[in-house]
Amino acid sequence: MLAKLFGLGRPASDPRALLVEALSDIAGEPLAQKAGEYFDFPERFEQACEAAGTEALWVLEGKKPTPGAKAQGIFQQMLEDSGHAGFIDWADDAESILDAIQPLLRNAGAEMFSPEERSRLLSLAADARRGKAFGKLDEPLRQAVRARGLVLSYLDRDADAYYPVVVSLGTYEKWSRLCFDSKRTILQGPPP
């Protein structure tokens, strides 16, 4: 009820326009224009995915996508392919998790983790069992990214993995309240 009252998680009336605007804010105009083309001609997107060795989310699900699901699938795949979204497997160790965040900081124009900061973060999850390092590092990573004036957010892929994205606070505030469909917000994570 609070989400409805405050307009949180509102689905978009025009998923295509939202897709183009979100990608423009996060990854730039050229990628946003390409996303609009892919939305209009999803078979081109499917062909591009196939050429890259992946499949569109709706192909994996085996059904024709709704406009919101199509926008979500294009958005996430293009962010991943362009290096604006990372991949963290649920079982990754601390080293792999930090390695997934470093390029996102670079793409955002932020300072990379210093050797001292990296060592401190690694020590926080040094004793983590398989599948537990992310839980120990999520909040410290958010704080480290926040110290750089940015926000560590995630894409929701309904998977056993995490897809981190590093964005400005304004971008996070804008896109964590809107949805391509009624299922999930565009960017996720606790408020910074």
Could you report the per-residue pLDDT of 50-96, keeping only the tens digit for each? 998 988 888 888 888 899 989 999 999 999 999 999 999 999 999 99
Question: Confidence class of residue 107 from pLDDT cuts 50, 70 and 90?
Answer: very high
176 and 99 together in one domain: yes
166 and 73 together in one domain: no
142 and 184 together in one domain: yes
- Residue at 7 is within a domain: no
Predicted pLDDT at 1 = 32
The residue assigned the tokens 């004793």 is 127
Question: Confidence class of residue 4 from pLDDT cuts 50, 70 and 90?
Answer: very low
97 and 171 together in one domain: yes
174 and 98 together in one domain: yes
- Residue at 62 is within a domain: yes
Q: Which two tokens stand for residue 91?
A: 């079982």
168 and 122 together in one domain: yes
- CA atoms within a 13 Å half-sphere pointing along the CA-CB vector of 186: 29
Q: Mean pLDDT score of the chain, rounded to an integer?
A: 89
Predicted pLDDT at 181 = 82
Mean of pLDDT values over 8-21: 78
117 and 189 together in one domain: yes
Q: Parallel, antiparallel, or unpaired: how do β-strands 178-179 and 10-11 relate?
A: parallel
Q: Whole-prediction pTM value?
A: 0.86
d(CA 102, CA 111): 9
Give how many domains the chain has, as a whole number. 2
112 and 167 together in one domain: yes
Domain that holds residue 50: 13-82
Spatial contact of 103 and 83, defined as CB atoms under 8 Å apart: yes
The residue assigned the tokens 């293009």 is 78
38 and 65 together in one domain: yes
Q: Where do the DSSP E strands lie in 18-92?
A: 88-89
